[in-house]
A and B are shown apart, each in its own frame.
Chain A
Amino acid sequence: MKSYLILDDGTVYAGKGFGRAGEQIGEVVFNTGMTGYQEILSDPSYRGQIVTLTYPLIGNYGINEEDFESRQLQVAGFIIKDLSQVESNWRSSGNLHDFLDERGIVAIQDIDTRALTRHLRSRGVMMGIITPDPDPYIALSKLKASTQYAGIDYVTQVSTDKPYTWPLPTGVKERFKVALIDYGVKFSILNSLSALGCSVTVLPCASTSADVLGYDPDGIFLSSGPGDPARLDYAVNTLKLLLGKRPIMGICLGHQLLGLAFGCRTYKLKFGHRGVNHPVKDLDTGRIHITSQNHGYAVDVATVEDAAVDISHINLNDNTVEGLRHRELPVFSIQYNPETLPGSGDNGCLFEKFIKLMQSHRQNG
């Protein structure tokens, strides 16, 4: 069935619908990872976004029961070049098309995703609509009538309603209690922490500092999540109160919120960082790590100087801030996703660093 992707600037891409038939509006972004579509589809940070994958062959290894990052599919829509008609992998339990249909995700294939990516790269990410209706005027009026990406608090949509505890893996003993503020947490974050002996309590995004401290955690973890950090005053205010109370580690959106709590500003990147190949330099060690990233906003370098924090990591592609560290407090944050490339020793180290902070905090009272 013919389907179209129509962007906010009037650009039309013709393709073929798959997944759930219908229409969907969202911010159109691209991810350059060559594998991992199941993880991307279920990553809460993509809430409100129509994701296009630059790698053209998607669905090759089907869908399995294990590789989800949350309990539901999160993307608003999905754009690809070539949907595999066959899936082949020992863990596969179904094909991508049926799965998207079942989970209600509107998707489009046969799109010149390279042309689309080049367009977004030069014009910046923008709102778009996947629709069976080829008329751009109707599409544009629908886009005009819809709320812009930055106008919506997606965090509230993806965060847990009530607190819950993430089980420790069998054989792992509890070493620390961690309160994790859920702005859109991924399973792999929870698994990374629990594998290190952290008993994680997942708290709603709007939890107050009293709520968080009420669990008497050894440390506080701020998860990744979707959307513009600057509109999340409630979260920033909570963090300001938590600073200095416990060791804190933030990643991704959690990092941006910490930045705001430190008094820095955030801004929207032209086309974001989404992929698994971004070089980040650790300014302390000089070492470079290849990182997994998914963010559309960043902490403004120019505003860091006045705050009581140092830049600990930078992105080698565009020199944006990739990590902050408080000069006195046991608080640090990372813009990328250390949990996504587990085992790449260096990225795992960041969780170890959090553990160490909790350890010394406990020792020093």
Chain B
Amino acid sequence: MPRREEIKKVMVVGSGPIIIGQAAEFDYAGTQACRSLKEEGLEVVLINSNPATIMTDTNIADRVYVEPLTVDFAARVIERERPDGLLPTLGGQTGLNLAVALAEEDVIDRYGVELLGTSLQSIKKAEDRELFRELMSSIDEPVPESAIIENIESAREFARSIGFPVIVRPAYTLGGTGGGIAHNMAQLEDIAHRGLKMSMIGQILLERCVLGWKEIEYEVMRDGADNCITVCNMENLDPMGVHTGDSIVVAPSQTLSGKEYQMLRNAALKIIGALEIEGGCNVQMALDPQSFDYFIIEVNPRVSRSSALASKATGYPIARVAAKIAIGLHLDEIANAVTGKTLACFEPALDYVVTKIPRWPFDKFPLADRVIGTQMKATGEVMSIGRNFESSLMKAVRSLENGAYSLRHKDIGTLTEMELENRLKVPTDERLFVLAEAFRRGQMVEEIHQLTGIDRWFLQKIKDLVGLEERVRNRGFSGLDRELLEKYKALGFSDRDIAELVEVEEDDIRALRKTLGVLPVYKIVDTCAAEFEADTPYYYSSYEQENEAALSSRRRVVVIGSGPIRIGQGIEFDYCSVHSVWALREEGFETIIINNNPETVSTDFDTSDKLYFEPLTEEDVLNIIDQEQPEGVIVQFGGQTAINLADTLARHGVKILGTSVEFIDMAEDRKKFERLLRELDIPKPDGRTAVSVEGALEIAREIDFPVLVRPSYVLGGRAMEIVYNEKDLLHYMKYAVNISPRHPILIDKYVLGKEVEVDVISDGTDVFLPGIMEHIERAGVHSGDSMAVYPPQKLSDGVKGKVVDYATRLSRALHVKGLMNIQFVVDGEDVYILEVNPRASRTIPYLSKITGVPMVNVATKVMVGHTLKELGRSGGLYPETSHVAVKAPVFSFAKLISVDISLSPEMKSTGEIMGVDPTFEGALYKAMVASGLDVDLTGAMIVTVADQDKAEALPVIRGFKELGFEIYATGGTCSYLQGKGMNATRVMKISEGTPNLLDLIRTGKVNLLLNTLSPDKTVEKEAARIRRCSVEHSVPCLTSLDTAAALLYALRAKASGRSFESLALTDYDVGKKPEIRSRNPRVTTGC
């Protein structure tokens, strides 16, 4: 059937901010879907609160609404736009939940919108456990015994009837939030309690536990004519018990015989048919390793994380095809975009092995519980492609950027036998390295199979790889010959790993390889195992005979991607990479992307002219550069991953486009940078480097407390703290870092002021500032965790002038070509520079969207030789807009047990949202709602505030009281409030006995918590418990008075009865206010 002509306008729902369980994959899916619909001539309306996405670009959808994903706001958009259809299956669980809510609140019917892709009924059949069980039983597909319960007593009863272990899953959540495996009654009660709280509908599922069975997934598609296909199957290396998002996954399955493969395939096709899904669907199954028995575990009636992986693993664009099916097209009416000749109606054949490894955030959260189970904890993932399992695995390992370039991991070698055995039994994020270490210590496959349940096939492969380490070590560098190198390279050993094993430098191995002619070739991912000609430019490396990568005669530029999504380096860098590629294409270049993240738009094969799906290590990148011989390489858009490669690439003679390596180094090297600032007479907070405890104390006394301390050798704010006195400084040096001449710590004066941030574009002469962003929280909170507002609300013109002046002179001195991010702290009229990042920062998409300046586009064109003037841009600050945008961070604390949620210099957020409105309060309100702080206007709040904050907190608390909040406060805070004439109810601290404030939180009596950090460590210990408790019970907890004041401001605006309009980005009028020029426009010619 051709596409349905009556559907002319479709609204696509995005997935909102990046959180654990819902990452960049939905930007990829949503972007593909929007383009797919536009290709069919439809008008596309998009709603998504996440500005750091390609899908919210105004060239992807026709009408882009960066608005909160709530029924309230979605309904306004629907009312305004009157779409014919709503497509909710590409926005993850968020999109699906919103669609269900819109339908239940009658919005869908009221405006005559049709739910496309999957009917409400199908969604419910797949998501509601009881309906799902009924459906499965009607088509004879087995599901494990289970019960839906709504209270703890029923949970006990079920467990008594089927015994332990029992698995707990809350209904309607994503990433298995609130789930777990209970081995006894106490555990069951604990998990069930949490699960009931997390579930949107107050239900949890208890289920027979099939721990240790093989976990297999099928990605299937169906069209309106009931044509069904399988896109891909996948096998989890970790058997049942570990969430698939936290499992190492391979595609296709490796240990299934033809019979098993077809049996499960048939089941998956039967299920998608029974659910009558029109689009894509993911089916998860547990297969008994000892028989043909299997159970259907879960079905996602939508595009999912797994389907993004399946798309990249096969080349089959699931989201694109799903969008076309949703508007009526059939599979045989859609072309296979990869071959161009065949149709979307076929099943991809792979001739390689794909491995996905999750990327966990534990490097940022050293205190978090690292055990992996049914609750997903990974923030992102890497994928790799190899012609054998070994190389696929090894490439994935070195894509993780966790310090490992092989199966050897520095922290694992030192484990005792006992620790090792425990780690084998209880999986953590380091499981793969633990397995390898066990083999290194002589354990047998069978023993480890018994301990882990991992299939012997995978174990033997890992064991063999470990065995090869020793063999090459014994050979030594002089014993390396062509045959041996060919073998090791084919199995995925990195040059760096071989170099380490034979104790030479990586460059020695590289040189030897080149001399011996051991070079990689590149194969194409073509969906059809070479059966048909395909000219998809989607490559991966292999060490074998034929090279399929052909060189064109065009001018080429390589853009280095940003790797897996992790805290501090999220989807915004993919946004930048993609825009850079598009700009290069406009300039007529052949564009080449290297990246390893399957969840992204940059790794979509039609984003760039050529895609290399490869690790982002020195070796892998250099190999591609040898192959492609580009004119230059762009490292500014791939976050720290790419910028870290700049030096090595330059050393190997590769031309770095944009700011040169010398000046990147000057910006990143503290000493050189400080010298430059002195020369330029630009102030920064006083600071020094200490190499001993005594030295540190001396420096701190000199520059005066409070001081900001951090180790000099880590980036991204790790182990950074604000220290208020000598005692705490000593404590910090004793517990947080080991100070020594080799490991100095940096001590800076902590300027308590307002943080301000700019991203500049410079061509070396002119310096263009699209906008200044003002942080809501004071300095000391990581910029990635702060709320920020554009245009600034409280900065004087004098301060703005200084910001422009400093940024301009600094950019010129650093000969910046392209982008640079500069962070300032403002104290009164004084402006200090805090740090610079000589690359694109995470605020680029936000600032680009709100100012309308295509920042990456302009920066990229500067990098390839244009001046700003040629591009129609002049120096100085771009006129400020009349509308306001507030960016707010979003956290995933509910998934990360025992992580402290307080805001600090260490970044903790996983994603961000934007609120945009003609007014500041409107933007703030929307940002609060979108970030999950959708607090009612009345209710009750607990306040427990540190002594130094009490005076400042008073008006804020009073404000909440005036709005109608009942105030509970702990001892000191309560007395203080009462002393100031405020009514507050005293509540006991944990240490004071029960009932205390935890009970208030647990019983749902309060809906907000305000807790500021105390410098007193014993008080803090208790406070951390309180904050965790708030997370576990989904009660918002604010740890900064600035955030609280902002929330109050927003709530007051709402209380005043104002209703906030929802406008599309293109409806806002850009650029009205007068321009602010650099106050002191002197020209420096460098340093």
Q: Which A residues form the contact surface with B (CB < 8 A)?
A: 13, 30, 32-39, 54-57, 60-61, 64, 66-67, 81-82, 84-91, 112-115, 117-118, 121-122, 271, 275-279, 281, 286-288, 290, 316-317, 341-345
Contacts and interface: CB of A to CB of B under 8 A. Distances in A.
Contacts, number: 158
B332 A316 contact: yes
Contacts of B252: 34-35, 55
Q: Which of A271, A290, A342 has the most CB of B within 10 A?
A: A290
A316 B346 contact: yes
Contact of A91 (B257, B342, B464): B257
Nearest to B349: A32
B352 interface: yes
Interface in B498-546: 523, 528-533, 544-546
B346 A35 contact: no
A13 B345 contact: no
B259 A54 contact: no
B354 to A, nearest CB: 12
B898 interface: no
B225 A286 contact: yes
A38 B258 contact: yes
Contacts of B697: none
A48 B757 CA distance: 72
B998 to A, nearest CB: 49
A55 B261 CA distance: 14
Given A90-B291, A121-B532, A56 B255 contact: no
The 4 A-B pairs of least Cβ separation, nearest first, read A36-B258, A115-B546, A112-B545, A54-B529
Of B265, B348, B349, chain A has the most CB atoms within 10 Å of the CB of B349
A342 B253 CA distance: 20
Given A82-B387, A86-B457, A281-B332, A67 B346 contact: no
A67 B530 contact: no
| Chain B interface residue bracket vs A | 35 or more
Contact of A117 (B347, B388, B530): B530
5 contacts: A55-B351, A86-B456, A88-B456, A118-B546, A316-B343
Contacts of B257: 35-36, 38, 61, 64, 67, 89, 91
Contact of B351 (A85, A86, A113): A113
B529 A117 contact: yes
Given A35-B256, A344-B266, A82 B544 contact: no
A112 B546 contact: yes
A117 B523 contact: no
Interface in B332-363: 332, 342-343, 345-353
A61 B255 contact: yes
Contacts of A56: 351-353, 387-388
Nearest to B530: A117
B226 interface: yes
B258 A54 contact: no
Given A277-B348, A278-B346, A57 B262 contact: no
A160 to B, nearest CB: 25
B347 A290 contact: yes
Contacts of B529: 32, 54-55, 114, 117, 275
A82 B225 CA distance: 40
Given A35-B256, A85-B460, A91-B257, 6 more contacts: A13-B545, A85-B464, A86-B460, A276-B347, A277-B348, A316-B346
Nearest to A273: B531
A116 B582 CA distance: 36
B227 interface: yes
A279 B455 contact: no
Most buried by A among B259, B529, B546: B529
Interface in B598-623: none
A290 B229 contact: yes
A345 B770 CA distance: 60
Interface of B: 225-230, 252-259, 261-263, 265-266, 269-270, 289-291, 331-332, 342-343, 345-353, 387-389, 455-457, 460-461, 464, 523, 528-533, 544-546, 548
A344 B350 CA distance: 21
A60 B254 contact: yes
B545 A57 contact: no
Contact of A82 (B228, B332, B388): B388
A35 B261 CA distance: 7
Contacts of B347: 276-277, 290
Contact of B349 (A82, A89, A118, A275): A275
B349 A343 contact: no
Given A85-B464, A86-B461, A279 B351 contact: no
A186 to B, nearest CB: 13
Contacts of A113: 351
A36 B253 CA distance: 12
Nearest to B331: A288
Contacts of B389: 57
B216 to A, nearest CB: 12
A290 B289 contact: no
A121 B532 CA distance: 7
B351 A90 contact: no
A61 B346 contact: no
A121 B289 contact: no
Given A84-B457, A287-B225, A115 B351 contact: no
B345 A279 contact: yes
B530 A121 contact: yes
Contacts of B258: 33, 35-39, 67
Contacts of B546: 112, 114-115, 118
Contacts of B346: 277-279, 290, 316-317
Contacts of A91: 257
A343 B266 contact: yes
A114 B523 contact: yes
Pick the most buried of A30, A54, A55, A86: most chain B CB atoms within 10 A of its CB: A86
A89 B235 CA distance: 14
Contacts of A60: 254-255, 457
A82 B529 CA distance: 15
Query: Which among B226, B230, B351, B388 has the greatest number of chain A C-beta atoms within 10 A?
Result: B351
B214 to A, nearest CB: 10
A342 B227 CA distance: 17
A63 to B, nearest CB: 10
Contact of A81 (B226, B387, B456, B533): B387
B227 to A, nearest CB: 4
A88 B456 CA distance: 6
Contact of A279 (B265, B343, B530, B545): B343
A288 to B, nearest CB: 4
A54 B262 contact: no
Nearest to B387: A56
Q: Interface centre among B230, B269, B545, by most A CB within 10 Å?
A: B545
